[in-house]
Amino acid sequence: MGTRPCTPPARPPCGLAREQRRTEPGRCGPARTRCPVTRLGPWQDMPAAQQPDWRDHAGYREACEGLASAPPLVTAAEVRRLRRSLARLLTTEALLLQLGDCAESFYACEPRHTAQKLRVIDGLGDRFSELTGRSVMRVGRMGGQFAKPRSQATERHGALTIPSFQGHLINSEIASPLTRKADPRRMTWAYEASDKVQRAMRTHRQGGYRLPATEGPWSSHEALVIDYESHLVRRDPDTDDLYLASTHLPWVGERTRQPDHAHVALLSAVVNPVGCKIGPTADPDDVLRVCEALDPRREPGRLVLIPRMGAHRIQEALPPLVRRVANAGHPVVWLSDPMHGNTVKSRLGLKTRHLTDVITEALRFRDILAENRQHAAGLHIEVAADDVTECVGGTVENEEELRRHYTSLCDPRLNADQATELIEAWAKGTATGRS
């Protein structure tokens, strides 16, 4: 939900140490995740897709050691409260909005930036609750959403082939061979940026807004970089359980949800509620294996499944998955991600999404869940705090308007008006008794 600077700052953002870049380019292929600093679990020896190749960098060990000894970004008590709230959501048929930037920016982590994002989250949550007559939990894609999986490890810029931008945790959005080198010191910068956001969210949650604290806003991000996440695993002082202290609600992506790989192994070892993205080619047996790994005890509030299939594929792909998971007895929180399956390239060469496709997928998701007697719990969407023009529809009438205010670091986001259109369309069915 932040903005991209035109030029890199003299110092890294948010008061972090001076940026240096001296390592080989990152890559998107499988890598081993052994870390010489600490061994917390078997995931460190397992294959992991989409990892930066930075362990020979001089700053790698220091960055890992710093994270391992750092205070938790979220507390075990907060994680337990969120799990209880998600469990209640299943019994009360309350709703959940998970929203924020595609990729957070180091340049937008000051309290004023977080306050602007929270105003959008609260405004949309309030509107969703008003329209549906149901309480709405709020989860932000914020406080750590600094790493992105990419379909291509490299991209062309003029005559050069350079590593793709993988989020500020890994490299820079500035397109040059030097700035696209993966730098493990960015893990430290990501921690410090996340800490600023988490502190502002905590203040908001504990008394800065009229919502009960259990309704949020909670933090979430894709737990992509194993080196970063591994060194932020902590023990609950009250129960001795392991929990991931980097965020309240981590999720594993469509590209990294292999049941025998590091991402699923790590998230299966912690007690946080965990999400899993599911694409249109997902095999029901594979999805069930992931569910068994992440939720073997079938505990309400533990597992959030997030289909991201595309408006034209969800009708065929989703029903067998819903039936298979339900028959296996997993009490899943189902959220629709109607964004990622509907990304197209505009005539201008910019990635975009059409609001009509986004709405179509969300409504088909809602109806499929209702037809299978499951609760459609809400939406996982990418929304900017600024009045961006990145998706076509509503206030952005055509593709020519995309250039007016296109600031995303990665994928296109809805603006608040477009997001309001989406939740209003969803609510029309919910208000008449359909879930």
Contact yes or no for 216/100 (Cβ under 8 A): no
pLDDT digits (tens, 9 = 90+) for 328-359: 999 999 999 999 999 999 999 999 999 999 99
pLDDT digits (tens, 9 = 90+) for 409-431: 999 999 999 999 999 999 996 54
Whole-structure pTM over 0.85, yes or no? Answer: yes
Angle between helices 355-371 and 314-327 (to 10 degrees): 30
Q: What is the pLDDT confidence band of residue 399, given thresholds at 50, 70 and 90?
A: very high
pLDDT at 40: 63
Q: Which of 31-35, 228-232, 240-244, 261-265 has the least mean pLDDT?
A: 31-35
Asked whether the predicted pLDDT for residue 4 surpasses 60, the reply is: no
Asked whether the predicted pLDDT for residue 435 surpasses 80, the reply is: no
pLDDT at 434: 38
Give the span between the Cα atoms of 254 and 116, in whole angstroms: 30
Contact yes or no for 90/217 (Cβ under 8 A): no
Asked whether the predicted pLDDT for residue 8 surpasses 60, the reply is: no
Q: Please give the mean pLDDT across all residues of the chain.
A: 90
Asked whether the predicted pLDDT for residue 41 surpasses 90, the reply is: no
pLDDT at 299: 98
Give the span between the Cα atoms of 314 and 279, in whole angstroms: 9
The residue-averaged pLDDT of 18-40 equals 36
Contact yes or no for 59/51 (Cβ under 8 A): no
Give the span between the Cα atoms of 418 and 402, in whole angstroms: 14
pLDDT at 246: 98
Angle between helices 355-371 and 416-430 (to 10 degrees): 30
Give the span between the Cα atoms of 39 and 387, in whole angstroms: 45
Length of the chain: 435
Q: What is the pLDDT confidence band of residue 32, given thresholds at 50, 70 and 90?
A: very low
More confidently predicted of 87 and 32: 87
Q: Residue 271: what residue type? A: V
More confidently predicted of 203 and 318: 318
Q: How far apart are the first and last CA of the chain?
A: 29
Asked whether the predicted pLDDT for residue 33 surpasses 50, the reply is: no
Asked whether the predicted pLDDT for residue 1 surpasses 70, the reply is: no
Asked whether the predicted pLDDT for residue 165 surpasses 80, the reply is: yes
Asked whether the predicted pLDDT for residue 316 surpasses 60, the reply is: yes
Q: What is the pLDDT confidence band of residue 45, given thresholds at 50, 70 and 90?
A: confident
The residue among 342, 345, 391 whose CA lies nearest residue 363 is 342
Q: What are phi and psi of 222, to 5 degrees?
A: -75, 125
pLDDT digits (tens, 9 = 90+) for 174-214: 999 999 999 999 999 999 999 999 999 999 888 755 666 56
pLDDT at 206: 81
Asked whether the predicted pLDDT for residue 25 surpasses 80, the reply is: no
Boundaries of every domain in the chain: 49-430
The residue-averaged pLDDT of 151-163 equals 92
CATH topology of domain 49-430: TIM Barrel (3.20.20)
The residue among 280, 276, 435 whose CA lies nearest residue 363 is 435
- According to DSSP, residue 59 is labeled T
The residue-averaged pLDDT of 70-78 equals 97
Give the span between the Cα atoms of 208 and 202, in whole angstroms: 9
The residue among 66, 9, 61 whose CA lies nearest residue 188 is 66
pLDDT at 294: 98
Tell me what percent of the residues of the chain surpass a pLDDT of 70.
88
